[in-house]
Amino acid sequence: MTNTIADIETADVILVTGSNTTENHPVLSTFIKRAALKGNTVIVVDPRKIKLTEHSQNWLRPNPGTDIAWINGLMNVIIQEKLHNSEFIKNRTEGFEAIQESVKLYTPEYVEKITGIPAHDIIETARLFAKADKASICYCMGITQHTCGTDNVKSLANLSMLCGHLGKAGGGVNPLRGQNNVQGACDMGGLPNVFTAYQKVDDPNAIKKYEAFWNITGLSNKPGLAVTEMIHKAEKGEFKSLYIIGENPLVSDPDLNHAEKGFRNLEFLVVQDIFLTETAKIADVVLPSFCFAEKNGTFSNTERRVQRVRKAVEAPGFAREDWKITCEIATRMGTNMHYNSAEEIFKEIRQVTPSYAGITWERIEKVGIHWPCPTVDHPGTPILHTTKFTRGKGLFHAIHHQPPAELTDEKYPLVLTTGRVLYHYHTGSMTMKSDGLNEMSPECFVEISQNDAAKLDIVDGEMVNVFSRRGKIKAKLSISSKAVDGTVFIPFHFAKAAANRLTNAKIDPVAKIPEFKVCAITIQKAA
Amino acid sequence: MSKENTITIDNKQFAFKAGETILEVAKRNNIFIPTLCHLKETTPTGACRICIVEVKGARDLVPSCAAPAVSGMFVRSESPEVIKARKNIIQLMLASGNHNCAIRKFEPDDWTSFHLKVLKEDNYNELCPVWGDCKLQDLAYRYQVVTKLLPVSLSKYPMETVNPFIIRDFSRCILCGRCVQACREIQVNNAIDFGYRGAKAKIVAGADVPLKDSDCVFCGECVQVCPVGALIPKETFKNKKRFEKTETVRTTCSYCGVGCQMELTVQDNKIVEINGAEDVEPNRGSLCVKGRYGYDFVASPERLTTPLIKKNGKLEEASWDEALGLVAARFTEIKTKHGADLMGVLTSARVTNEDNYIAQKFTRSVLKTNNIDHCARL
């Protein structure tokens, strides 16, 4: 997030898109709901009639996979009505001419044709957003999990820059990150192309720095493969081993039938986890590790706040701490890796990670600090880009609408979008151990509109088979007021009816994120 | 100190900011004023009146949570009149329901016989589940209000237990309304409200249905703010041994990316309760259903406790030495035979920064490839 969680509540207008906030970030959603309660404007743009629409002034309902079009539509109106922030554009950005030209095509009427959002709603929303003193954009996987995910995000950045809503309190472009330490995993270089703090692996200076610091030679300067690419290669026999720490891709990966083949094709698979997950079951070696309540360390949250994790209980049996297991493997492979504590590792992290350099465990004992925090007397950075952007001037990108990788047709007439529910988390390996959570959300369901269910002549609660071009699952039909005609939602938590047997593994070429939010399906009554 | 913005509480002068209530000024200056219904960041309701103070020139005692500080005000926080009124309020509250707080003037006794005597006198066979952790009981002790000889009113409403997380015991509810404030103004779930009138007053969910059939999402904010034993976390009630040692550990929630700060209550190496850490960003005491009640996995019997190695197609228990030896040998072999770029590591958005740093250091400096990724995109 460019801004903080608390900051959202201070925005005059909050645009929430592709985020079912009340179910996926329940506590963060309270900031949005309180803002609405105080009379601030909340606008929801989402294909589902999510709970947050009850708190919003406007709900815009785009056809799945048409985000660039509606965002360009808003910009078209803003520029047409001269509501853009010329001062900000002149001083802080470049490339305005390019988008001025590119969004000309996206008149409200044209956008209505693509997105299904009425033209007058586009106009009204554009005015609300542009005229606001402070407007915040919050988005989540509904924006990113598309083959054009990167372009969707760039479009939101265009919109925010156009109105000068970046670099100030109550503004910003705020991705709501879905996992406790997804921010930290990225910051720590758990990505194929960067070391810690996003230092590029093909930058000779970064390589030199790390080789000197780790006292080794021969670091690879070739960016590595993303998980989706590794699995694809494994399926063809071109990838040999994987060491998986605390993940369960055999439920969370797209197009599972293919992914499964890839994993089974590996010569050697090691899974380190707290449970015998679907992925661990097919491993050659399974290593038992600690859960969060047994560890000391840090997590970095969605607002870049580095916070302490503290040991509360002893781990069961012979389980070991994750970093200790990895160090032991390294040592047995001939590279001595030894630390006495997690804090000692954090001290090493600070030395090679400029954005964490000023953060110490002592400083975050009570309250976490937002990176970048370059020195120990630096207070941290709650709001990014206040005086300049990372690259200097903010660059506008001219972007055009691209249809999703898979479209509906006669055989597969419905659009499937996947996501989570309030009572479960990701592949359920943790939440499904709670009887209470299971009682509230016992099984997979296929959320569909009343009209679509009537067309299929299937009643609420009946078992159905759902088919896509890649697979089939069987689950209960659930008629819901959240669903809109033509679009079906299935949560991906449940291994027994894994929605990812249906999803498309087509990825965004830059971010390599799969298109979980759009694929074509058909539904039949189960025999 | 200009006279325009100061008030006097208990003969001491304090500056205040425009809009601050008497209670806020007192709290900031460590002057004790008891509260029950007051809930920070929400609209004061003045419902319980326990925070009343004496204000010079005012006809009646004034609820300090709702009264703004006014320049030149002269306040007494615990005058004899205030104490008398507070005693009255507490007495009425204790009489209004099932409050066997065991506030008695029995002769010094051992705990068990004292306890048994109280139960006998109250005609109860169970001690209040929040005995020793109740704001009303604390106040009854502070003001020495004795429950003996008070008629105990039986609740007009039966206990609600038909959901997995929260027990609603209407017999212990003092109708302070904190839960309603928490639900409507902090979490904004709008699931509960005051229902019925007068003596029949009750906190109702929706059209007086069980919580599980209402808009309730079991965030548990109401349980955390309930000053008495009317809202009880079911699992804690079942598992926590009363009057036995517990430890509290502050940590960060391990579910979504919000990073809520929470307090784990631990007893016998087991988490028995989780509460939001108050007054700390980013969550300021709030949690969701998963963070607050989804901790069973930690002590689950299904946890992996020993390394496993696949032998003849089946995973079998192994020693760490054997498992680590095998992993190191196979990784070395594959690296030599196929090269590091045919090997990969999936680190995790679920583990700590320290774990992640070590995972990427291992991938880059030991395996010598950049094939490291995690499920950020999934």
Instruction: Give the per-residue pLDDT at B154.
Output: 67
Structure-token match 């990108």, residue found: A397
Q: Give how many domains chain B has, as a whole number.
A: 6
> Strands B343-346 and A241-245, how do they pair?
parallel
pLDDT at residue B112 above 80?
Answer: no
Reported in sequence order, the residue ranges of A420-486 that DSSP labels E, i.e. its strands, are: 445-448, 463-468, 472-479
- Average pLDDT value over all residues in chain A: 97
Of B271, B328, B366, the CB nearest to A293: B271
Confidence of residue B1 (pLDDT cuts 50, 70, 90): very low
Shared domain for B233 and B246, answered yes or no, is no
In this predicted model, what pLDDT tens digit does every residue of A413-424 receive, in sequence order? 999 999 999 999
In angstroms, the CA B50 to CA B94 distance is: 13
- Burial class (CB within 10 angstroms; exposed 0-12, middle 13-18, buried 19+) of B344: buried
The DSSP line for B97-145 is: S--------PPS--HHHHHHHHHHHHT-SS--TTTTS-HHHHHHHHTT-
B263-319: pLDDT as tens digits: 999 999 999 999 999 999 999 999 999 999 999 999 999 999 999 999 999 999 999
For A371, phi then psi, to 5°, come to -80, 160
SS3 state at A527: coil
Interchain contact B352–A (C-beta under 8 A):
yes
A285: nearest CA partner in chain B:
B309
Q: Is some CB atom of chain B closer than 8 A to the CB atom of A27?
A: yes
Under a CB-based contact definition with an 8 Å cutoff, are residues B251 and B262 in contact?
yes
Pairing of strands A41-45, A58-60: parallel
Q: Count CB neighbours of B247 within 10 A.
A: 11
Q: What are the pLDDT tens digits along chain A (527 aa)? A: 999 999 999 999 999 999 999 999 999 999 999 999 999 999 999 999 999 999 999 999 999 999 999 999 999 999 999 999 999 999 999 999 999 999 999 999 999 999 999 999 999 999 999 999 999 999 999 999 999 999 999 999 999 999 999 999 999 999 999 999 999 999 999 999 999 999 999 999 999 999 999 999 999 999 999 999 999 999 999 999 999 999 999 999 999 999 999 999 999 999 999 999 999 999 999 999 999 999 999 999 999 999 999 999 999 999 999 999 999 999 999 999 999 999 999 999 999 999 999 999 999 999 999 999 999 999 999 999 999 999 999 999 999 999 999 999 999 999 999 999 999 999 999 999 999 999 999 999 999 999 999 999 999 999 999 999 999 999 999 999 999 999 999 999 999 999 999 999 999 999 999 999 999 999 999 97
Which of the four pLDDT bands, split at 50, 70 and 90, describes residue B46? confident
Taken in order B228, B229, B231, B233, the sign of the CA dihedral is positive
Q: How far is CA B42 from CA A61, B23, B28, in A?
A: 33, 14, 17
Residue B244 and residue B234 share a domain: no
Residue B9 near residue B67, CB atoms below 8 Å: no
C-alpha distances (whole Å) from B314 to each of A34, A208, A250, A283 are 53, 45, 18, 10
- Kindly determine whether residue B252 and residue A433, on different chains, have CB atoms separated by under 8 Å: no
**Per the domain annotation, does B373 fall within a domain?**
yes
Task: Supply A150's token pair.
Answer: 């990167």
Q: What are the backbone angles phi and psi of residue A409, rounded to the nearest 5°?
A: -145, -170
R_g of chain B computed on alpha carbons: 28
Q: How many residues does chain A have?
A: 527
Contact B241, B132 (CB under 8 A): no
Q: What's the burial of A391, exposed, middle or buried (CB within 10 Å: 0-12/13-18/19+)? A: exposed
In this prediction, residue B242 carries a pLDDT of 80
The pLDDT of residue B106: 57
What percent of chain A shows pLDDT beyond 90? 99
State both tokens at B242: 């009363």
> Given 3-state DSSP classes, what are the helix, strand and coil percentages for chain A, each rounded to the nearest 5?
35, 20, 45
User: Which residues of A, range 208-237, sit inside 8 Å of B by Cβ?
Assistant: 210, 214, 216, 218-220, 222-228, 230
Cβ of B256 within 8 Å of Cβ of A178? The answer is yes
Those of residues 260-279 in B touching chain A at CB distance below 8 A are: 260-261, 264, 266, 269-271
Question: How far is it, in rounded angstroms, from Cα B224 to Cα B178?
Answer: 10
**B341–A220 CB contact, under 8 Å:** yes
Provide the pLDDT confidence category of residue B150 given band limits of 50, 70 and 90.
low
Bridge partners (DSSP) of residue A105 are none
Instruction: Answer yes or no: are the C-beta atoms of B341 and A222 closer than 8 Å.
Output: yes
Q: Which residues contact A38 (CB under 8 A, 6 or more apart)?
A: none
Both B62 and B9 in one domain: the answer is yes
The residue behind tokens 């600070």 is: A350
β-pair type (A463-468, A472-479): antiparallel
Residue B16's contacts (CB-CB under 8 Å, 6 or more residues apart) are B5, B6, B7, B24, B25, B69
| Residue B150 belongs to a domain | no
Say whether both B371 and B353 belong to one domain.
Answer: yes
Give contacts of B269 with chain A, Cβ < 8 Å. 313-314
Task: From B28, B57, B78, give the residue that closes a domain.
Answer: B78
The predicted-structure confidence for B13-25, as pLDDT tens digits, reads as follows 999 999 999 999 9
Q: Are A517 and A145 in contact (CB under 8 A)?
A: yes
- Helix then strand count (H, E) for chain A reads 20, 19
Q: Considering only the beta carbons, identify the residue of A227, A295, A366 that sits closest to B352.
A: A295
B161–chain A Cβ distance below 8 A for any pair: no
User: In chain A, whose CA is at the least distance from the CA of B347?
Assistant: A245
| B117 domain-assigned | yes
Chain B: closest CA distance from residue A87 (Å): 33
Taking CB atoms and an 8 Å cutoff, what residues of chain A touch B343? 239-243
The domain spanning residue B178 has which CATH number? Answer: 3.30.70.20
Region for residue A288 given its phi and psi (left: phi exceeds 0; alpha: psi -120 to 50; beta: otherwise): beta
Q: Return the DSSP state at A389.
A: B
CATH number of residue B275's parent domain: 2.20.25.90
Pairing of strands A487-491, A414-419: parallel
Is B330–A241 a contact, with Cβ atoms under 8 angstroms apart? yes
CATH code, B38: 3.10.20.740
pLDDT in tens, A139-185: 999 999 999 999 999 999 999 999 999 999 999 999 999 999 999 99
Kindly state the helix (H) or strand (E) to which residue A245 belongs, with its residue range: strand A241-245
Q: Within an 8 Å CB–CB cutoff, is residue A441 touching chain B?
A: no
User: DSSP letter string over B30-68?
Assistant: T-----SS--TTS-----S-TTEEEETT-SS-EETTTSB
- Both B14 and B65 in one domain: the answer is yes
Chain A CB contacts of B254 under 8 Å are 180, 291-293, 299, 309, 430
| Strand-strand pairing, A414-419 and A472-479 | unpaired
Q: Is A105 on the interface with B (CB under 8 A)?
A: no
- Torsion B116-B121-B123-B129 (CA) sign: negative
CB contact under 8 A, A434 and B217: no
> Residue B107: what pLDDT?
60
Does residue B376 sit within a domain?
A: yes
Q: What residue has token string 């979008």? A: A417
Q: How far is CA B179 from CA A40, A292, B284, B301, in A?
A: 24, 30, 16, 35
B358 touches chain A (CB under 8 A): yes
Q: Which of B287, B331, B361 to mutate to test the interface with A (most CBs of A within 10 A)?
A: B361
Q: Which residue in A523, A492, A509, A526 sits closest to A259, CA to CA?
A: A492
pLDDT given at position B375? 85
List Cβ neighbours of A410 (8 Å cut-off, separation of 6 or more): none
Mutant choice from B234, B346, B366 vs A, greatest count of A C-beta within 10 A: B346
| pLDDT exceeds 80 at position B105 | no
DSSP string, A434-450: -HHHHHHS-S-EEEE-H
Give the B window 220-259 contacts with A, CB below 8 Å. Answer: 234-235, 247, 249-259
Residues B64 and B123 in one domain: no
Tokens of A128: 């609300």
Nearest chain A residue to B360, by CA: A190
Domain identity same for B324 and B344:
no
The distance of B272 to chain A (nearest Cα, Å) reads: 11
Are residue B63 and residue B99 in the same domain, yes or no? no
Q: In this structure, how many other beta carbons lie within 10 angstroms of the beta carbon of residue A53? A: 19
The 3-state DSSP class for residue B296 equals helix
Full residue range of the structural domain in which residue B116 is found: 91-142
φ/ψ of A521, rounded to 5, equals -140, 170
* Facing residue for A314 by CB, picked from B269, B309, B359: B269
List CB contacts of B59: < 8 A, sequence separation 6 or more: none
Question: How far is the C-alpha of B69 from the C-alpha of B67, rounded, in Å?
Answer: 6
CA torsion sign for B48, B50, B53, B58 is: positive
Say which residue, B125 or B208, is predicted with more confidence: B208
Quick one: B225 and B252 in the same domain? Answer: no
- Indicate if B295 and B353 belong to the same structural domain: no
CA B292 – CA B299 distance, rounded (Å): 15
In A248-304, DSSP assigns E strands to 268-273, 285-288, 297-300
C-alpha B39/C-alpha B21 separation (Å) is 13
Question: What average pLDDT does the segment B166-186 reach?
Answer: 95
Mean pLDDT of B326-351: 97
Residue pair A173/A157 in contact by the 8 Å Cβ criterion:
yes
Please confirm whether the linkage preceding B282 is cis (ω < 30° from 0): yes
Q: Is residue B10 part of a domain?
A: yes
Could you tell me if the ipTM is greater than 0.95?
yes
Percent of chain B with pLDDT over 90: 78
In a domain, B83, yes or no: no
Q: Answer whether B357 sits within 8 Å of A297, measured CB to CB.
A: no
> Is residue B113 a part of any domain in this protein?
yes
Burial of A245 (0-12, 13-18, 19+ CB in 10 A): buried
Q: Give the CA radius of gyration of chain A.
A: 24
Classify A22 as helix, strand or coil: helix
CA distances from A332 to A383, B23, B327, B330 (A): 44, 63, 9, 11
Question: B282: which residues sit within 8 A by CB, 6+ positions away?
Answer: A4, A5, A6, A27, A28, A301, A303, A305, B258, B259, B260, B261
* Under 8 Å between Cβ of B192 and B179: yes
The closest alpha carbon to A289, from A308, A270, A306, A304, belongs to A270
User: Is any Cβ of chain B less than 8 angstroms from the Cβ of A203?
Assistant: no
Rounded to whole angstroms, how far apart are CA atoms A115 and A351? 49
User: Could you give the CA distance from residue B38 to residue B42 in angstroms, rounded to a whole number?
Assistant: 8
User: Does B153 reside within a domain?
Assistant: no
Ordered domains of chain A (ranges, CATH): 5-176 (3.40.228.10), 178-223+289-317+337-375 (3.40.50.740), 225-286 (no CATH), 414-525 (2.40.40.20)
Reduced DSSP (H G I as helix, E B as strand, rest coil) percent helix, strand, coil of chain B, to 5: 35, 20, 50
